[in-house]
């Protein structure tokens, strides 16, 4: 699926009125089947960019085009239909702690399943082979029936990516897929992602902190800083000077690794129980 952003500005829904927009007048076109890495210092608007592409955030100005349609001009039902064709993988893996890995991975198939089918799959997992193959790509095949809360942070992140592999989406949007992985696993994970996208003919957009990983695995690199596009170049043309400019004030991020994602979900509010 191709993605075209025209003069897109967006702000976080919870942002105060006076705060600067997270994205400012972004123009970006991603062709169908293209693979693209977004790099930039923390707070550059990388996550917001992905959310705008994923119809998870409505741009304040400008237009988004996914495939041939502007999702915000569609009705609610058609918009949800559009969402079925894309997959947004957030940085913190969205897995309920008490769920089993097999269910968590097969949740990637939900858009393709009818309601009764998905209910059936909760009782007895359908298509276990699919989950198994997806997990095997991330060395997790032995964790198929493990519970999510018994996994380490890195394993959870890879389960989240296995869900993406199990899905059938044509637009893959991945936010910081490597933040909890060691370099070897990170390389393996990126290879699986790019191969999956290629085999499926899907568009892949990933935000990455590891600049070197981005340069070595992606053909096209977009540099983002303070909500603005700094450069948009083939990986071979990205020079150290570009990177210096991009990370001008946060040079330590260029060499350091990604900040650790917050895995513990926020403390749930206590529920009052009343009875006489």
Nearer to another protein by Cβ, of 8 and 211: the residue is 8
Site size toward another protein, by CB under 8 A: 47
Quote the tokens at residue 57.
């955030």
Q: Which of 107, 64, 111 is nearest to 83 (CA)?
A: 111
Nearer to another protein by Cβ, of 24 and 83: the residue is 83
Strand ranges inside 203-254, DSSP E: 203-207, 220-225, 228-234
Which residue from 39, 86, 151, 208 is in contact with another protein, where contact means CB under 8 A?
86
Single out the segment in contact with another protein by CB under 8 A; choices: 110-118, 127-135, 213-221, 237-245: 110-118
Residues 6+ apart with CB under 8 A from 34: 203, 204, 219, 220
By CB under 8 A, tell whether 41 contacts another protein.
Answer: no
For the bound state, the minimum distance from the C-beta of residue 249 to another protein, rounded and expressed in Å, comes to 30
DSSP 5: E
Which residue from 55, 64, 135, 193 is in contact with another protein, where contact means CB under 8 A?
55
Which residue from 40, 41, 45, 108 is in contact with another protein, where contact means CB under 8 A?
108
Q: What is the 3-state secondary structure (H, E, C) of 156-203?
A: HHHHHHHHHHHCCCCEEEEECCCCCCCHHHHHHHHHHHHHHHHHHCCE
**How many Cα neighbours within 13 Å face the side chain of 43?**
7
For the bound state, the minimum distance from the C-beta of residue 260 to another protein, rounded and expressed in Å, comes to 17
Quote the tokens at residue 145.
């029936």
Residues 6+ apart with CB under 8 A from 274: none
Under rule CB under 8 A, which residues in 11-30 are in contact with another protein?
13
Under rule CB under 8 A, which residues in 213-272 are in contact with another protein?
265-266, 268-272
For the bound state, the minimum distance from the C-beta of residue 238 to another protein, rounded and expressed in Å, comes to 31
* Cα angle, residue 53 at apex, residues 250 and 257 outer, rounded to 5°: 30
Which residue from 7, 69, 119, 251 is in contact with another protein, where contact means CB under 8 A?
119
Nearer to another protein by Cβ, of 57 and 243: the residue is 57
Quote the tokens at residue 262.
């917050």
For the bound state, the minimum distance from the C-beta of residue 255 to another protein, rounded and expressed in Å, comes to 31
Nearer to another protein by Cβ, of 95 and 189: the residue is 95
If one counts every other C-beta atom within 10 angstroms of the C-beta of residue 252, the result is: 8
Quote the tokens at residue 25.
């007048």
Please state, in angstroms and rounded to a whole number, the distance separating the CA atoms of residues 20 and 23: 9
Which residue from 4, 25, 74, 113 is in contact with another protein, where contact means CB under 8 A?
113
Single out the segment in contact with another protein by CB under 8 A; choices: 99-107, 135-143, 200-208, 217-225: 99-107
User: Which residues contact another protein by CB under 8 A?
Assistant: 13, 54-58, 76, 80-88, 90, 92, 94-99, 103, 107-108, 110-111, 113, 115, 118-119, 122, 167, 169, 265-266, 268-276
């Amino acid at each position: 699926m191709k993605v075209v952003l025209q003069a897109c500005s967006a702000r976080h829904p919870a942002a105060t009125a006076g705060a600067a927009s997270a994205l400012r007048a972004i123009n970006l076109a991603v062709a169908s089947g293209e693979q693209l890495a977004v790099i930039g210092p923390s707070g550059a608007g990388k996550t917001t960019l992905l959310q705008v592409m994923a119809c998870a955030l409505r741009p304040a100005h400008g237009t988004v085009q996914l495939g041939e349609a502007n999702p915000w001009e569609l009705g609610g039902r058609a918009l949800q239909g559009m969402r079925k064709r894309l997959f947004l993988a957030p940085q913190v893996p969205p897995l309920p702690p008490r769920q089993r890995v097999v269910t968590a991975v097969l949740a990637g198939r939900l858009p393709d399943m009818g309601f009764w089918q998905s209910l059936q799959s909760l009782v007895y997992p359908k298509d276990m082979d699919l989950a198994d193959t997806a997990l095997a790509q991330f060395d997790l095949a032995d964790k198929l029936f493990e519970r999510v809360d018994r996994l380490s942070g890195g394993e959870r992140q890879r389960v989240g990516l296995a869900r993406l592999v199990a899905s059938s989406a044509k637009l893959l949007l991945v936010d910081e897929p490597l933040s909890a992985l060691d370099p070897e696993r990170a390389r393996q994970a990126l290879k699986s992602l790019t191969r999956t996208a290629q085999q499926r003919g899907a568009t892949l957009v990933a935000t990455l902190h590891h600049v070197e990983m981005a340069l070595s695995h992606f053909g096209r690199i977009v540099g983002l800083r303070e909500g603005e596009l700094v450069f948009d170049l083939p990986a071979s043309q990205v020079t150290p000077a570009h990177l210096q400019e991009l990370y001008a004030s946060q040079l330590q991020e260029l060499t350091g690794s990604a900040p650790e994602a917050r895995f513990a979900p926020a403390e749930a509010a206590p529920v009052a129980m009343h009875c006489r």
